[in-house]
Structure 1
Amino acid sequence: MSVTSKRKFVGLMGLSLSVLSLPGHAIAQGNQGTSSEGRSAAADSQIEDVVVTARRLEERELDVPIAMTVATAEQLDVQGAADITALQRTTPNLTLQVSRGTNSTLTAFIRGIGQQDPLWGFEPGVGLYVDDVYIARPQGAVLDVFDIDRIEVLRGPQGTLYGRNTIGGTVKYVTRRLDDDPMLKLRGEFGTYSEFNGIVAGSTPVSEHFRVGAAVARHSRDGFGKNLTLDKEHANRDSLAGRVTAEWEPSDTLFFRLTADSFRDDSNINNGHRETPVFPTGAPPLDSVYDTLSGIGYKGRVRTNGVSLTGQWQASDTLTLKSITAYRDGDTSGDGIDFDGLPQPYFDIPGFYKDSQFSQELQAQFDFGNVSGVLGAYYMDSSAAGAFHAVLGLLGFTQTTSGNVDTESVALFGDANIDITERFSASVGLRWTRDDKDGTVFKANYAGVGVPGANANPFAVLTDYTNQRSYSEVTPRLSVSYKVVDDFNLYAAYGRGFKSGGFDMRGDASVTPATMNGYNPEIVDSYEAGFKSFLFNNRLRLNAAAFHAKYKGQQVTTQVPVGTSAVSFVDNAGESRINGAELEGTAQLTDWLSANFAAGYIDAKFDKYASFVPGAPANGFICIDDAPSPPSAIGCYADVSDLRVFQNTPEWSGFFGLHIYHDLSSSGRLDVNANISFRSSVNLFETPIPALDQKGYELVDLSAVWTSENEHWRVGLHGRNLFDKKYKIGGYNFPVPFFGNSVVSFYGQPRTAKVTVEYRF
């Protein structure tokens, strides 16, 4: 981190600490703002607790020995947040971004662990759940924020409480339960770049025991830039999302919920900004980072659909049985991504993805007073497939890669919390997971520039195999908690995370036959200690955690020897250690002013990164002993960990916000939020690339929302990225002539503003 960035971060945290030194602090329901309950509490300079379901039971967030951040619907609404990527600004050690080239594919990292490549062969490192249903693929996973209750971000491995094991952490998207009374919400948003968004949500009881509801969100916006070659909008938005829900409670002990959802994204393809001079003329890059010269086309298409049925039966005062059945599918297609950013097809990649999943989860939740917890069984049958065509115009041929991965996963899990004394408790959990995977990969070269026809014959088949692998692991979790007083909880926890192995869909078996064997699972052992507290008569809420993780078998791209050179493929070549700390809180300074803050620090370093290095050891690299092959005349395997970094993981992240609440008596109330978020420098890949890596930056947001006295009307003005910072969130690096010397970056949203008008009853 630069000296300037350090000074800015120190200043930001100094302001937060100065807030804590003032008398009369209070804490709101998280670090993103103040909810409606928080506003009521603000009038009394006290804060009400927040109830979460992180451990599958309703309990105070303070009692949960897991580092977590909770954002309520009210908090996100007051901020003008459009989708779940807004949580990156306010949550420490979290990356939630739109993946390169898309508008709705999610890139997620928590505490340095995640998955950037959305290809169908790779497992995500961060689990995304919608109403306890695991979302297996990142396509279409940039979820719009509408008709929700809250979003919970759980940091660290999760597996003894959830259907699908996740190695880095979990994002829980919890939708709103239907009201007992009729409800209708109409919301319109009008903003810069001709933005128009409309949201309609409503529900009504049909009978005493049966309720139905529906919600629809339409988002439309012109592009932040232009495709100058095709004269089309670039980086625009055109999406539609909907959800239909029915709830049936035939008795006080029985509950059923049926939900169907659908998402459609017809936004134009985002082809990024070329950072290198135009090839081969040498003309400079375009002035606007949101413009492109791409000639591949502009149409994009994403579809996702899902249906789930949740049944819950309170069998007795001590036992509740729950079933979650779900099916989801999706497909992504369009004209493809232009990797060179030029009119000519030097390096264009059209492609498509398809996926489907069925899951069944059974839970037995028990509460015997001093002992409570959950036992569960999980089954998932999923399929992910796709194809992409690397059109290499300068070489005169097209390389097609296609394949699919079918996964059958079975798991048993359990977690119990034991109250040993009135203040001391322990939690123990265990999970067994087995994944069976069938992978098929085909890669071939076809003459000509363009997508091969159905009857085309390749002139070279590089990969053509089907293989099956099974992976199983037992992962424990242990924690202890001690309540110094009722509102100050100390805890320490250990958890093991597991990420399944798989097959490298890009692997070239003609030169690296080992790719057909697939790669093995990743394992992380995570240790954490922290506290959660309400202080000063519930006028300050402060949470802190420190963590250490040992990361083994990392699935990384490495080099292997082929002839007189080296080529890349995915293997378990990495080991690392991750240390860090987090601080979150909110302070009620007066009846009308509160401050929200968060800080995250992470030191993530590779201890081992085995890769073949041509010329070693003569060039100074030291050959390693446990190499896949012995040294040869052209080089040897060496540990290059000193030359590798963690991707999408800033060393520092921070947030500070002020919330002003003004009671206008019979004229309603006014809420004003002024926020600044900070991220230190970020590497987009595990190898530093100066042309792509992002320096530290700050984003400033401002919003003002008026709510009528009867809370039927709400009008807001929201500004995001007020100083119009340009910051990179993704990229591609192919700086060689036969790829058109392509170095392309994808940038976050520029300065935007919008007015929101909402009516509800």
Structure 2
Amino acid sequence: MNRLVKTVLLAGAAWGALSATAIAQEAPAQEPTATSLDEIIVTARRRDEQLKDVPVAVTALSAERLEETGATDITALQQQSPNATVQVARGSNSTLISFIRGVGQQDPLWGFEPGVGLYVDDVYIARPQAAVLDIFDIERIEVLRGPQGSLYGRNTVGGAIKYVTSRLSPEAEATVRAAYGTYNQIDLVASGSLPLTDNFRVGAAFANLTRDGYGRNINTGAEHYDKDVTAFRASAEFTPRDEVFFRLAYDRTQDDSNPRHGHREVAGVGYGANSPGSVYDTYAGVGDENSVESEGLSFTGQIDVSEHWTFKAISAWREGRTDTVIDFDNTPAPTLDIPAYYADEQYTQEFQFQFDYDRIQGVFGVFYLDATAEGAFDTILGGAGIVIGTGGSVETESVALFGDVNLDLTDRLHLGLGVRWTQDSKTGEVFRANYLGATRSPLLGGSARAPILLRTDYTNSRNYDDVSPRVAVSYDFSDDITGYASWSSGFKSGGFDMRGDAILTPDTVNGYDPETVDSYEMGLKGRAGPLSFSSAIFYNEYQDQQVTTQVPAGASIASFVDNVGQSTIYGAEFEGSLYLTENLSANFAVGYLNAEFDQFLRYNLTTMQYEDISDQVVLQNAPEWTGYFGLTWQSQLAGGELVVTPSVSYRDDYSQFEFPNPTLDQEAYALVDLSAIWTAPSERWSIGVFGKNLTDEEYRVGAYSFPGALFNDSLIGYYGPPRTVTGSIQIKF
């Protein structure tokens, strides 16, 4: 089936690319719709622009499109965005792991930073915990592919994801949605706004999302892969004059879902060391308590200073706390148990000066970040009778100046110039020690005792500077078709390995250096008759690449965060919408990716030398082909409107780690979904049915690999959701 799906997707993409002109000549003219590129407004360049005019590869998904496809959280972006990985992190319920075009960061430990930036209403979210945002009360989501260093700064070497919430309505309104589905899924979502005066309004949105587990903990009887999330947003908007706008917003998320311990993929020794029949079951014995809290407050002010100039200020504060446990061996015994906590706090301030004259538009600004991330975790090794306690923190202060200008050289030829200067200052504290007894260490509330071996204990500071430029040339071949060519650079800051073992890897106290990506891209986007499309080809040079791995080393685990060298990544993307008839349209996305290491330096624990092993490794989360194809059929039924959306998404083979592992790596798979929504004639209420993964495909989204007798051959897989069916009803007041 996967081969057939792949063939259909590729044939569809090739047909679309080759026949766009023919369609424009032969098809009857149709009115632009809300999903046409000339109607979609995005803020990829920090200002409102039509999607077809932006010389950046952008996937923009409106609230309507996300609702029609039954998207519940932002991991749905993986299905509809070419060359993107957007998943729940291994061993987690709400930690986000993102890769775009093979560039990202899988490790969510404090101190490590993502390679894909996440923004909620232009507020940068520095930590991935609680970042698997549920989709409610939104306007759209934008996925910006390729380095976005000049405008979005550090840690956007892969790209950026922008989650844009809805502005408050000038009229009093409220919406309530309730859903019930497979595994006793119960979702309750309510949102509304209330104008208190002509220029001041308040609003709020609330979501309570619960579900029984896809599996269970056979050892304790607890639910496994369940969901228990409560989220709340509140905002106030004040417009004293037409040219002045202020917004104050607060959000809070509480995730009390049980921890995900994963599924043992190979049998070990002892009770519970077999592989459970269901991939969602476990025998874990470390416990079933898990809590993730995240909250933030932001203030946005925008003033139209004159006809040509606008000033915008964005101030934001966020903090989060995670208390969790992960049983890496998946057995009742404390063979490899990891209790942990993470905590973070950040303050950001951004000032933007936007301008728009006849032939020149752009933005200048300054950005400031002050953030602290800390945590501790225990590696409980029952076979060795010890626990390795690890704890520490990293403080980050970042300042950036940026500018991006678009020059209309002629009516059709445009030149875009951007640059960003960034300075990061980081201070890391790392402590790691062995304690006798396979129970919690003093770092996590265990009995007070002195370490039997001090492995790491240091404090170090480093500064990093970078200049990230961008140059883009675009040409309007017609009023509907735009082509562009660009070069851009991205920078991800260096840092300190919070797991670093100074005994096994003495260089860890020096930290690791930044990584950079230089991207060359050409694209064509626009509308040809009933076809709205966006296409791009790209070539990336990935340098000083940061790779995080953990390797068993005797009665310990060696952690490496190395600048392993460089890789070359190139590929192509084609996505869009095709209006087949008055009632039927198609949405599609196809991505091709070729990614290879040119150099991979690995520290040899025996020889204590760095060796180039690039012939033994691959880039993780970099499938060669990704694809999506969906149909949307609209018809009148019982006086209302019925919208039916069948779709299939495809993801090629990919590796979970840089070192291929046939037991844990994921083979190609396809997901088939089907949704139907009927809206009453009054448009005040609607009902929907959403089927996801209807073929009940089993597919891994993450893994851990700890082979060997000491770890009881712990090869653990984490799986995406099985087949589910959900019914919903929504009422607007």
Q: TM-score, normalised by structure 2?
A: 0.95
Count of aligned positions: 722
> Which whole-Å CA distance do the structure 1 matches of 2:27 and 2:170 have between them?
38
Structure 1 pair 248–730 and aligned structure 2 pair: CA distance change class (3 A): same
Tell me if 1:688 matches 2:691.
no
Secondary structure of residue in 2 paired with 1:730: strand
Structure 1 pair 66–218 and aligned structure 2 pair: CA distance change class (3 A): same
Partner of 1:586: 577
Partner of 2:176: 186
Q: 1:304 aligns with which of 294, 297, 306?
A: 294
Q: Could you tell me how far 1:550 is from its partner in structure 2?
A: 0.4
Question: Please, which moves more after superposition, 148-157 or 7-16?
Answer: 7-16
Structure 1 pair 724–26 and aligned structure 2 pair: CA distance change class (3 A): farther
Residue 105 of structure 1 contacts residue 142 of structure 1 at CA under 8 Å; is this kept in 2?
yes
Structure 1 pair 499–432 and aligned structure 2 pair: CA distance change class (3 A): same
> Which whole-Å CA distance do the structure 1 matches of 2:282 and 2:30 have between them?
46
Structure 1 pair 169–26 and aligned structure 2 pair: CA distance change class (3 A): farther
Residue 153 of structure 2 contacts residue 490 of structure 2 at CA under 8 Å; is this kept in 1?
no
Structure 1 pair 93–47 and aligned structure 2 pair: CA distance change class (3 A): closer
> Which whole-Å CA distance do the structure 1 matches of 2:292 and 2:31 have between them?
37
Secondary structure of residue in 1 paired with 2:149: coil
Q: 2:258 aligns with which of 268, 280, 288?
A: 268
Tell me if 1:24 matches 2:24.
no
Secondary structure of residue in 2 paired with 1:333: strand
Q: 2:243 aligns with which of 245, 253, 260?
A: 253
Q: Could you tell me how far 1:185 is from its partner in structure 2?
A: 0.3
Structure 1 pair 612–501 and aligned structure 2 pair: CA distance change class (3 A): closer
Structure 1 pair 25–642 and aligned structure 2 pair: CA distance change class (3 A): farther
Q: Which amino acid aligns with 2:611?
A: A
Partner of 2:629: 656
Residue 189 of structure 1 contacts residue 756 of structure 1 at CA under 8 Å; is this kept in 2?
yes
Tell me if 1:235 matches 2:235.
no
- Correspondence 1:522-533 to 2 at 5 A: 522-533=515-526
Partner of 2:718: 746
Q: Could you tell me how far 1:159 is from its partner in structure 2?
A: 2.4
Q: Could you tell me how far 1:369 is from its partner in structure 2?
A: 1.4
Report Cα offsets for 1:270-299 as digits up to 9, x if no partner.
Answer: 110000113246964111000100011111
Secondary structure of residue in 2 paired with 1:251: coil
Q: Could you tell me how far 1:561 is from its partner in structure 2?
A: 14
- Correspondence 1:5-84 to 2 at 5 A: 5-17=2-14, 24=27, 37=34, 49-84=39-74
Partner of 1:607: 598
Partner of 1:620: none
Q: Which amino acid aligns with 1:89?
A: Q
Note the residue ranges of structure 1 that are not aligned, 5 or more in a row.
Answer: 30-34, 39-45, 616-633
Q: Could you tell me how far 1:12 is from its partner in structure 2?
A: 2.3
Residue 38 of structure 2 contacts residue 527 of structure 2 at CA under 8 Å; is this kept in 1?
no
Partner of 1:629: none
> Which whole-Å CA distance do the structure 1 matches of 2:686 and 2:154 have between them?
39
Report Cα offsets for 1:86-133 as digits up to 9, x if no partner.
Answer: 110111000000001111000000000000000001111000000000
Partner of 1:488: 481
Residue 309 of structure 2 contacts residue 353 of structure 2 at CA under 8 Å; is this kept in 1?
yes
Partner of 1:719: 691
> Which whole-Å CA distance do the structure 2 matches of 1:461 and 1:560 have between them?
19
Secondary structure of residue in 2 paired with 1:262: strand
Percent identity (aligned): 50
Secondary structure of residue in 2 paired with 1:511: coil
Partner of 1:279: 269
Residue 178 of structure 1 contacts residue 211 of structure 1 at CA under 8 Å; is this kept in 2?
yes
Structure 1 pair 733–112 and aligned structure 2 pair: CA distance change class (3 A): same
Q: Which amino acid aligns with 1:679?
A: R
Structure 1 pair 687–203 and aligned structure 2 pair: CA distance change class (3 A): same
Structure 1 pair 501–636 and aligned structure 2 pair: CA distance change class (3 A): closer
Secondary structure of residue in 1 paired with 2:546: strand
> Which whole-Å CA distance do the structure 2 matches of 1:590 and 1:424 have between them?
34
Partner of 1:211: 201
Report Cα offsets for 1:27-79 as digits up to 9, x if no partner.
Answer: 999xxxxx8x45xxxxxxx8861111111111100000000100111111111
Q: Alignment RMSD, CA only?
A: 2.1
Q: Could you tell me how far 1:648 is from its partner in structure 2?
A: 1.1
Partner of 1:479: 472
Q: Which amino acid aligns with 1:682?
A: Y
Secondary structure of residue in 2 paired with 1:676: strand
Tell me if 1:430 matches 2:419.
yes
Partner of 2:211: 221
Tell me if 1:362 matches 2:334.
no
Residue 174 of structure 2 contacts residue 732 of structure 2 at CA under 8 Å; is this kept in 1?
yes
Q: Which amino acid aligns with 1:506?
A: R
- Correspondence 1:78-97 to 2 at 5 A: 78-97=68-87
Q: Could you tell me how far 1:24 is from its partner in structure 2?
A: 3.2
> Which whole-Å CA distance do the structure 1 matches of 2:608 and 2:426 have between them?
34
Residue 28 of structure 1 contacts residue 541 of structure 1 at CA under 8 Å; is this kept in 2?
no
Tell me if 1:445 matches 2:434.
yes
Structure 1 pair 17–672 and aligned structure 2 pair: CA distance change class (3 A): farther
Question: Please, which moves more after superposition, 511-520 or 426-435?
Answer: 511-520
Secondary structure of residue in 2 paired with 1:485: coil
Tell me if 1:709 matches 2:702.
no
> Which whole-Å CA distance do the structure 1 matches of 2:309 and 2:15 have between them?
47
> Which whole-Å CA distance do the structure 2 matches of 1:25 and 1:646 have between them?
45
> Which whole-Å CA distance do the structure 2 matches of 1:663 and 1:730 have between them?
43
Q: Which amino acid aligns with 1:574?
A: G
Question: Please, which moves more after superposition, 267-276 or 159-168?
Answer: 159-168
Q: 1:391 aligns with which of 380, 403, 418?
A: 380
Partner of 1:733: 705
Q: Could you tell me how far 1:247 is from its partner in structure 2?
A: 0.1
